Structure 1
């Protein structure tokens, strides 16, 4: 399966994600994304550093900027981030080689988005990605 197929089928196709992207963990390169969902290199660097260090103090204080929108950090864990802006939200997961960034809108149950993203992350980890 291509990286774009993971975006189109596993994430967007679930109905629990309305926009998303997959980035390389080491180089920050975009491997695949939904149309128009652009995370800047600076935004991705902050996300990557927080996930790699497991330090979310700055995000708790300042929030999290993704695709030009500021979110409030809800949960920062070893390999994942959950953030909200109103009823919209983000689920971000780190694997061995990727960072998955998924957005859900107010019509989606946040937990379903989280299960979808973390499920794909678990699968990729089992495949050494």
Structure 2
């Protein structure tokens, strides 16, 4: 399965995200939904946030050009909120899985589906 298929089927395909991407932990986009552009500075900010969660709690991170208020941050996951939507970012060994959801999507369902995808990637050495 290609990285794009993981984004299309296992992330956005769950119905819990409207957009998403899998990016390298040191930068670079591996796959993303059309029109969802995550910059290297945004990726590096998230990667640093896993090492230093307070950095993203105090300085709201940008994801695809939108600034989010962080509601959870630790060495594995960063969750943010913007209006009635939000984002989830989960670190694997080599990547960060990022999903954005909009109004009407339950944040808990989004978190569960992205965490499962991250677990699968970790189990397969990614």
TM-score, with normalisation over the residues of structure 1?
0.94
Q: CA deviation at 1:41?
A: 1.1
Q: Which residue of 1 aligns with 2:95?
A: 98
Q: Which residue of 2 aligns with 1:7?
A: 7
Q: Which residue of 2 aligns with 1:58?
A: 55
Deviant stretches of 4+, over 4 Å: none
Write the mapping of 1:10-89 to structure 2, written as runs, cut at 5 A.
10-26=10-26, 28-51=27-50, 53=51, 55-89=52-86
- The separation in 1 between residues aligned to 2:120 and 2:60, in whole angstroms, is 29
Q: CA deviation at 1:62?
A: 2.2
- Aligned residues of 2:25 and 2:43 also touching (Cα < 8 A): no
- The separation in 1 between residues aligned to 2:47 and 2:86, in whole angstroms, is 18
Q: Which residue of 2 aligns with 1:116?
A: 113
- The separation in 2 between residues aligned to 1:128 and 1:42, in whole angstroms, is 25
TM-score, with normalisation over the residues of structure 2?
0.96
CA RMSD of aligned residues (A): 0.9
Q: CA deviation at 1:56?
A: 2.1
- The separation in 2 between residues aligned to 1:35 and 1:29, in whole angstroms, is 16
